[in-house]
Structure 1
Amino acid sequence: MEGSSLRHWKVIPILLITLQFTTNMVLSLADAPFDKQRNIEYIKSSCSSTTYPRLCYRSLSIYANKIKTSPRLLVDTALNVTLKASKSTSRLMVKISTIHGLRPRVAAAMADCIEVIGDSVDELQQSIEELGHISRSNFALTMSDIQTWVSAALTDEDTCMDGFAGKSMNGNVKTMVRKRIVKIAHLTSNALALVNNYASTQSNLP
């Protein structure tokens, strides 16, 4: 009888631990949809201040669980998404430039584009690296550098398109280049808007 009672008291702590674990799991699962919705709403709200809010939301909402409601992670993700698209565009343009029989003016415009988009990629990479080293003590100076680099990346993308201006440049190459450059220019513009928002919001903190 005494042995049975002892076994009974040993079982109770195990039951309590199991109950606590189950309760925590239920609460965690109950909070998950709320957290995800809150993260998505944060991204949607942040994107509303950009020039291309639909593109902003579409490109960033898939990273809601990573971004959560962090302004720094929002900016970091926006810059990385833009960098990835810019690298892809750069590779495509190098491939297009090897097409046999390009008209001389088109070939020259492609060469210029490859150079300036390469610069844009470098500037976006620098921005991401600097963001990773940001702290309260160097915040203002670092954000100023990041704003300068992202602005320069956007200017480079505009420069690429300027090289294809005029009806004489019309054709399949211009159409392909324009489609990709416009996309990364819009992503860069959105990233810059989020960078500017982050800089102005954080600079007002004590």
Structure 2
Amino acid sequence: MLATKTNTEYIKIACDATMYPKLCYHSLTIYANKIKTNPKELATTALNITLKATKSTSRMMIKMSKIPGLMPKEAVEAMTDCIEVINDSVDELQQSIEEMGDIKSSNFGVIMSDIQTWVSAALTDEDTCMDGLKGKPMNTNVKTMLRRHVVKVSHLTSNALALVNTYASTNPASP
């Protein structure tokens, strides 16, 4: 029990440094026994959670875009563009997770720089998606649901980037 308490306290303190600390804490505490007090595991877990949510959002958007008559043609085109950039985000997050597994002390700085770039690009893609949907004629309920999903993914990505940045600043001798 003490180890679990220490682990969750570690997550809380780490999440306090993110833009969305409540979301960070609630998404990561269920993995406290896996994360322990390891900053690399914390960042990797945050990336995995973000990837899962981003994939789910992409699948939901693809399904919605195929429902006949749900959106006007202009909105479907915006949704198609949004799906494309969200899928780019998925690719960037997957690449980041793969690279986290390949970090060695000899290549730490270079790999972390790449990961920070990819996660930042994923965040930009999500913002691009939201910008593309603005002002498009769309059912209010559909637009609200899309916005809620993309904003959540964007917040998770922002938190993951903050935790990656924290890990990058540690530059451990043996990650």
Task: Give TM-score, length-normalised by structure 2.
Answer: 0.95
Which consecutive unaligned segments of at least 5 residues does structure 2 have? Answer: none
How far does residue 169 in structure 1 lie from its aligned partner after superposition?
4.3
* 1:71 equivalent in structure 2: 39
SS at 1:60 equivalent: helix
User: Matched residues in 2 for 1:176 and 1:110: separation?
Assistant: 13
User: Matched residues in 2 for 1:140 and 1:105: separation?
Assistant: 44
Contact 2:75 2:136 in 1 (8 A): no
* 1:42 equivalent in structure 2: 10
Provide Cα deviations, 1:49-91, integer angstroms capped at 9, x if missing partner. 0000000000000000000000000001000000000010010
* 1:62 equivalent in structure 2: 30
Q: Which AA in structure 2 matches 1:38? A: T
How far does residue 147 in structure 1 lie from its aligned partner after superposition?
0.2
Contact 2:20 2:159 in 1 (8 A): yes
Which one of 154, 157, 163 corresponds to residue 126 of structure 2? 157
Q: Of the two structures, which has the highest relative contact order with CA contacts closer than 8 Å and spacing of 6 or more?
A: 2
User: Matched residues in 1 for 2:168 and 2:139: separation?
Assistant: 40
* 1:143 equivalent in structure 2: 112
How far does residue 105 in structure 1 lie from its aligned partner after superposition?
1.4
Most deviating of 181-190 and 161-170:
161-170
User: Matched residues in 2 for 1:35 and 1:177: separation?
Assistant: 39
How far does residue 104 in structure 1 lie from its aligned partner after superposition?
1.4
User: Matched residues in 1 for 2:170 and 2:32: separation?
Assistant: 21
* 1:90 equivalent in structure 2: 58
How many residues are matched? 173
Q: Which runs of 4+ in 1 moved over 3 A?
A: 167-170
The two structures, once aligned, show a CA RMSD in angstroms of 1.5
User: Matched residues in 2 for 1:126 and 1:189: separation?
Assistant: 17
User: Matched residues in 2 for 1:178 and 1:76: separation?
Assistant: 26
SS at 1:133 equivalent: coil
How far does residue 173 in structure 1 lie from its aligned partner after superposition?
2.1
Contact 2:11 2:25 in 1 (8 A): yes
Q: What aligned pairs does 1:1-206 form with structure 2 within 5 A after superposition?
A: 33-101=1-69, 102-166=71-135, 168-169=137-138, 171-202=140-171
Q: Percent identity?
A: 66
Q: Which AA in structure 1 matches 2:31? A: Y
Report the structure number with the largest CA radius of gyration. Answer: 1
Most deviating of 164-173 and 33-42:
164-173
Task: Give TM-score, length-normalised by structure 1.
Answer: 0.81
Which consecutive unaligned segments of at least 5 residues does structure 1 have? Answer: 1-32
Contact 1:90 1:114 in 2 (8 A): yes
Contact 2:72 2:138 in 1 (8 A): no
Provide Cα deviations, 1:113-142, integer angstroms capped at 9, x if missing partner. 110000000000000000000010000000
User: Matched residues in 2 for 1:166 and 1:100: separation?
Assistant: 21
